[in-house]
Amino acid sequence: QSALTQPRSVSGSPGQSVTISCTGTSTDVGGYNYVSWYQQHPGKAPKLMIYAVTERPSGVPDRFSGSKSGNTASLTISGLQAEDEADYYCCSFAGSDTDVFGTGTEVTVL
Amino acid sequence: EVQLVESGGGLVQPGGSLKLSCAASGFIFSGSTIHWVRQASGKGLEWLGRIRTKANTYATTHAETVKGRFTIFRDDSKSTAYLQMNSLKSEDTAVYYCTREFLAHDSWGQGTLVTVSS
């Protein structure tokens, strides 16, 4: 199972919006509505930000939103804030009871 | 409060074995599927496998990259999951996390570092 493809980095100024893509295939992202997104600050464990493509766990700001079209899922951060600077990973169910993570995207707040 | 605490990491020689533990608290461990995920330094997350609950016959699935070398098992009486790693290689050097499956990987431990080196 190959890792899902994410851009290596994205950046934006405070208050702007950024979108991170996560491209897979019809056997993972495109085949199931089980895409999740994780935020990881340096030296810390990842934190769940989005599950089931569009759902936000309690406590996650509504600035974070998820979507999916075909084999590509996306995470949008609206109203970018300094504390959003981190690495972000997507994850998808990939059939046969397996999961696969994305390659990761570094978000920089300019 | 949901808590997962990994332990058992350390330095091991190539070809050696290591067993990692994931001690859980704050939720009904026996009713939860547990995953193992690793991250090499400066690299991305890699899913290693999952173990389901007794109700699902403790079914396990392992990633192809570690199948045959790594085994996930659990002891519900101790609220602990394990990752048995055999025939370790230098490329297995990473921080190893356990996660709880609720909605997605909703809870993570702090990770334990495994270094494979002579």
Q: What is the longest distance spanned by two Cα atoms in chain B?
A: 42
Q: What mean pLDDT is predicted for residues B88-96?
A: 98
Q: What mean pLDDT is predicted for residues B16-39?
A: 98
Predicted pLDDT of residue A38: 98
Tell me how close the Cα of A64 comes to any Cα of chain B, in angstroms.
16
Low-confidence ranges of chain A (pLDDT < 70): none
Asked if A45 and B110 come within 8 Å (Cβ–Cβ), the reply is yes
Nearest beta carbon to residue B105 from set A48, A97, A104: A48
Asked if A101 and B37 come within 8 Å (Cβ–Cβ), the reply is yes
Structure tokens at A63: 């600035």
On the CB side of A4, how many CA atoms lie within 13 Å of its CA?
34
Tell me how close the Cα of A10 comes to any Cα of chain B, in angstroms.
16
**β-bridge mates for residue A101, sequence order:** A91
Asked if A48 and B109 come within 8 Å (Cβ–Cβ), the reply is no
Residue B109, CA distances (Å) to A70, A97, B16, B27, B28 in order? 33, 22, 24, 14, 16
* 3 state DSSP class of B81: strand
Instruction: Tell me the chain B residues in contact with residue A34 when contact means C-beta distances shorter than 8 Å.
Output: 104
B46 touching chain A per CB within 8 A: yes
Predicted pLDDT of residue A1: 80
Helix residue ranges per DSSP H, A1-110: none
The mean pLDDT of chain B is 97
Predicted pLDDT of residue A31: 96
State the burial class of residue B93 (Cβ atoms within 10 Å of its Cβ: 0-12, 13-18, 19+): middle
Predicted pLDDT of residue B97: 98
Over 90: is that where the pLDDT of B48 sits? yes
Q: What mean pLDDT is predicted for residues B70-79?
A: 98
C-alpha torsion sign, points A56, A42, A91, A105: positive
CA distance B81 to B71: 11
DSSP state of A4: B
B62-75 in b/e form (b: 16+ CB < 10 A) is: bbeebeeebbbebe
Over 90: is that where the pLDDT of B42 sits? yes
DSSP state of A3: P
CA distance B8 to B115: 11
Asked if A48 and B35 come within 8 Å (Cβ–Cβ), the reply is no
Report the alpha-carbon angle A96-B68-B41, nearest 5. 85
Nearest beta carbon to residue B109 from set A38, A45, A101: A45
